[in-house]
Amino acid sequence: MSSLSPNSSRFAQPSPAPSPAAPLRVGLIGFGCVGQGVYDILRRQPNAGAEVRRIAVKNPDKVRSLPAESFTYHADELLADPDLDVLVEVIDDAAEAFRLVSTALRHGRRVVTANKAMVAEHLAELVALQQTHGGTLLYEAAVCGSIPVIRTLDAYFGQEPLRSVSGIVNGSSNYVLTRMGLDGADYAPALAEAQAKGFAETDPTLDMAAFDPRAKAVILAAHAYGVLLSPAQVLNLGIENISATDIAYAGLADQKVKVVAGLYLLPDGQLTVLVTPQFVSSDSPLYAVDEEFNGVVIEAEFAGSQFLRGRGAGGHPTGSAVLADLAALRGDFRYAYAKLGAPLSYTTDLELKIYLRTDHEVLLDQLGFTDISEEADEDGYVVGYVPLDALLQHRDALRKAGAFVARTGNVRPGTVHSEENPALEEVSC
């Protein structure tokens, strides 16, 4: 796609917004799974208040469901088109997405995106661009597909303290885990089934190694707690090394293995964020979230527990979130980011109780188990407490060694935490 300087004289300001009765004129950038879902939804909902006027794609040789004359192959043309009211960016290239979105925001334009990796990596800058230039960026589609979790956190819980936000936010890995649990299948055939059904990519690394849910957790942290994190600060452990042995171990305690993104406000007022496999008990709402579905539990100080569940991926579920953002833009909605700047610090000085299965004994020394409660040499697993910082430091080594790690849900203060706050005890997260 061609390049356009933010200060280019070719960049035209959008024309005045249409009257409330007129539909928003949408420029759609990308026509993959989500882009086609958005297009189809707006085509089937002529009274939705928005219509696609132009579509930009990258590859002119790709066969698509619309005739070639329906597309332009230069996304910058849409940024410079004054007859478009909203730009909807749904491409899979995070770097190019940031270039397009940031350029649009510098010129005060309204943008909707579904690119969670781009938003998570550049959220602080994207917020600043909106504040400086008056543009608007909405990204409900970037987290949990059809579940309105970002709007809920930003608008409904913008003032209320939250004890935790935790959930299954990646449908691909959840589908694989469901098939393993139901059929007793190993990881490889369960993944192949997910790929065949379109729930997992040909290269499944982003989903199965938990990079995708990590990006979503970073976005949720900004809206739930007002903390802007770098993705690298957040522990992400995936399921690419899981085996039927691990599923069976969880089943002995009537538990399931789920990849859980957890944001926890600790008793001393600090925040921690984790994305790992976790043993989930039947008394948790997340226990029954299976297949490609997502589910999020919000524990609020005054409202109590809230549970949101819905389809987390796919063209139509994600497209429905884009549709909701377009409707919100018609009402001049923008994120309040009410909690940004709150005096809340982020900590990794904790110890997590984990289940670790590995053939590499050196990993036990590297992780520095401080307390071992269970060990089975024949199955190659150990259960005990390890420092969160050690897991962060050695997460790549764990992945390469074929190790599988799952949290039990228990957390206790680390060394510094214990010295500064001797009253702190183990908590369940």
**Cα separation values, 275 from 24, 92, 126, 209, 236, Å:** 38, 22, 24, 10, 5
Residues 6+ apart with CB under 8 A from 362: none
Pick the CATH number of 152-309+348-428 from 3.30.360.10, 3.40.50.720, 3.40.190.10, 1.10.3720.10: 3.30.360.10
Active site residue 216: yes
Query: What is the tens place of the pLDDT at every residue in 156-165?
Result: 999 999 999 9
Q: Whole-model pTM?
A: 0.93
Domain pair 1-138+314-341 / 152-309+348-428, same fold: no
Query: What is the tens place of the pLDDT at every residue in 89-99?
Result: 999 999 999 99
Position 104 pLDDT exceeds 80: yes
More confident call, 422 vs 308: 308
Domain ranges of the chain: 1-138+314-341, 152-309+348-428
Q: Are 121 and 231 in contact (CB under 8 A)?
A: yes
- Catalytic residue, candidates 58, 116, 197, 216: 216
Pick the CATH number of 1-138+314-341 from 2.60.40.3080, 3.40.50.720, 3.40.1000.10, 3.40.50.300: 3.40.50.720
Rounded distance between C-alpha atoms, residue 378 and residue 337, angstroms: 51
Rounded distance between C-alpha atoms, residue 115 and residue 206, angstroms: 13
| Structure-token pair, residue 252 | 């002995």
123 pLDDT band (50/70/90 cuts)? very high
Query: What is the tens place of the pLDDT at every residue in 320-356?
Result: 999 999 999 999 999 999 999 888 999 999 999 999 9
DSSP 115-160: -HHHHHHHHHHHHHHHHHH--EEE-GGGSSTT--HHHIIIIISSSS
